[in-house]
A and B are shown apart, each in its own frame.
Chain A
Amino acid sequence: MASEEKHIILQARNLSVGYSKKSSETIIAEALNFSIEKGELVGLVGANGIGKSTLLRTLTGMQNALKGSIFLNGKDLKEYSSFQLATQLSVVLTEAPASKNLTVLEMISLGRQPYTNWIGSLSEADKKAINFALEATETIDLAQRKCFELSDGQMQRVAIARALAQDTPLIILDEPTTHLDLYHRAYVLKLLKNLAKATGKTIFFSTHEIDLAIQLTDKMLVMAKNETHFDEPCKLIENGNFETLFPQETIDFDSKTGRFTIRK
């Protein structure tokens, strides 16, 4: 993408995330700075409880930033109405759809809601987008199945298809690889990679699959205890940023293979 003009989709400036109650603020992560460009696949890694989900919830507008600002397409996130935001940003959450009675096709069609009329009827353009989502995620055969009949791997593909149908320049996924076996973890990440490449969409996801993310992503955001790094995976390895992720007396990072090993 280096030859094309760089277009920044998502930018965080001196961002602090956490929870605020009436009197007190609990800062979970602070001084976050990063800029994500159009068409990039970006992985977010960090230990449990470091604030990955909090950061993603803040970026998707589900909770407010404590300090600093977020820019989506050059415009402050706060200035977006929820309706405008729905056409810019789609999400894949860790939670399953509330109703398992939905068919796959119905669930994916719901992704078109920001574009449909008041009663939700699908136009030709909507149908085209849904078809594209079905094909891209290879869920066409599942279209008439109910969500409760799906395996975890199939469910994840359907969730991604729903976000694709929403047709937004940015897709944010919260741990899309949890509960999946090795094959499906690789499948999902490869799917994201191909989607970013083929559609020019920017995809930002959190994951615990650090070694897979190193192999596939364009950039990574590494959240450690007191510092956050944002760069290309190979540069992060060079700088030794992965070593700080976990306590070193238990887990060691091998910079040659790009893998973590348990210290015996």
Chain B
Amino acid sequence: MQAAPTYKLQFSLLFLAVIVAFLLNLSMGSVSIPFKEIISVFTGNGASKETWHYILMEYRLPKAITAMLAGGGLAISGLLMQTLFRNPLAGPFVLGLSSGASLGVAILILGASAFGGFFGTILLSQWSLVIASALGSFLVLLAVLAVTFRIKDTMAILIIGLMFGSVTTAVVSVLSYFSSAEQLQQYIFWSFGSLGNQSWQGVLILIICFVAGLALSIFSSKSLNALLLGENYAKSMGLHIKRTTFIIILATSILAGSITAFVGPIAFIGLAVPHLVRQVYKTSNHLILLPAVLLCGSLLMLICDTVAQLPFSEFTLPINAITSLIGAPVVIWLLVRKRKLFF
């Protein structure tokens, strides 16, 4: 029997690409900082200008790390959803997960006035945004899951996920009708998606959630592989379907929920990246796919963010627009080229 390929070459190339994209991302922005200075900051020699040092350490570095975590995390949750629902179109966005997170945040931001005063400010702290968003996505996923146990047809489940998405969008619009202009603005800016303006504390929270979600995903990789054969086969090999489904959904909602809370709903990364990775890695083994998807998601998000900076200009575009502009053509290109999307 031939040894299973380890994809060393692909992994090293991907890793190298992520590092290059990371450094490129750091050097781009409205203030141009010479590449030499960036290296010098990281080697501990400090930059020749104090402002450069500050911009790098307090703005660009947290942003680049957030981009990597967000891209990698969303891509992983897309992979988990595609395997769990055994549907190549599944992803955190399609299943209404992001809408759920939006709903949680909307209720928090737009409803904060109802509590008012001191309590209102507590509600708007960073942790509560994360919790509300994660809770929202978790509830939507549970609802999708409750339906899953009743309906076997995966296409129907996707449609139901989309319906949940519409319902939450509707609730958000009703809420926004009754809220003040300031709150509405705060919510709308959140929904554009933004990687910037992250405090180191926020990045730390994101890292904790990310590691938790990643650990659960790695822990589930054997079960995920079994699910590739279908539920009945997986059961016949001793898999606890309900427990496995719960863990996978928990991992997805922690990842997608926390990321959506910090950077807003980001489209297409979760859907497109697993398919891109399957083009390069000719395997379905999740132990190989997980790190590959993680790296590829980070890479794509860093590139998207670099583009969103509009290099050499003062403007920054909403990250959500860029991921859609890049992601949608990628999915269409894959479909046209392969005629069929596998998972």
Which chain A residues have a beta carbon within 8 Å of chain B's beta carbons? Answer: 60, 62, 82-87, 89-91, 93, 95, 97-103, 105-107, 110-111, 113-114, 116, 118-120, 127, 130-131, 134, 143-144, 146, 148, 162, 166
Contact = CB atoms under 8 A, between A and B. Distances in A.
Contacts of B225: 106, 110, 113, 120
A95 B233 CA distance: 9
Interface string B8-47: 0000000000000000000000000000000000000000
Interface in B200-243: 218-219, 221-222, 225-233, 235-240
Nearest to B343: A99
Nearest to B86: A98
B342 interface: yes
Contacts of B237: 86, 90, 110-111, 113-114, 166
B150 to A, nearest CB: 13
Contacts of B278: 101
A80 to B, nearest CB: 10
A105 B231 CA distance: 20
Interface residues of B, number: 32
Contact of A99 (B2, B221, B228): B228
A147 B235 CA distance: 21
A61 B64 CA distance: 51
A134 B233 contact: no
A119 B291 CA distance: 14
Contacts of B342: 99-101, 148
A99 B236 contact: no
Nearest to B232: A93
Given A82-B238, A120-B222, A97 B2 contact: no
A98 B229 contact: yes
A60 B236 contact: yes
From B2, B218, B228, B278, name the one whose CB has the most chain A CB atoms within 10 angstroms.
B228
B232 A119 contact: no
Contacts of B4: 105
B229 A85 contact: no
Contact of A86 (B219, B222, B238): B238
Contact of A91 (B221, B236, B282): B236
Contacts of B236: 60, 62, 85-86, 89-91
A123 to B, nearest CB: 13
Interface of B: 1-2, 4, 83, 86, 218-219, 221-222, 225-233, 235-240, 278, 282-285, 287, 342-343
A143 B2 contact: yes
Contact of B238 (A60, A114, A143): A114
Contacts of A107: 229
A99 B229 contact: yes
Nearest to A85: B238
A118 B222 contact: yes
B284 A106 contact: yes
B235 A97 contact: no
B229 A97 contact: yes
A4 to B, nearest CB: 29
Given A99-B342, A113-B226, A82 B233 contact: no
24 contacts: A62-B236, A90-B237, A91-B232, A97-B228, A98-B228, A99-B229, A99-B284, A100-B342, A101-B278, A101-B342, A102-B229, A106-B283, A106-B285, A110-B229, A110-B233, A111-B237, A113-B225, A113-B226, A113-B237, A114-B238, A119-B218, A119-B222, A130-B1, A146-B282
A103 to B, nearest CB: 7
A116 B230 contact: no
Contacts of A97: 228-230, 233
Given A99-B228, A99-B284, A100-B342, A91 B1 contact: no
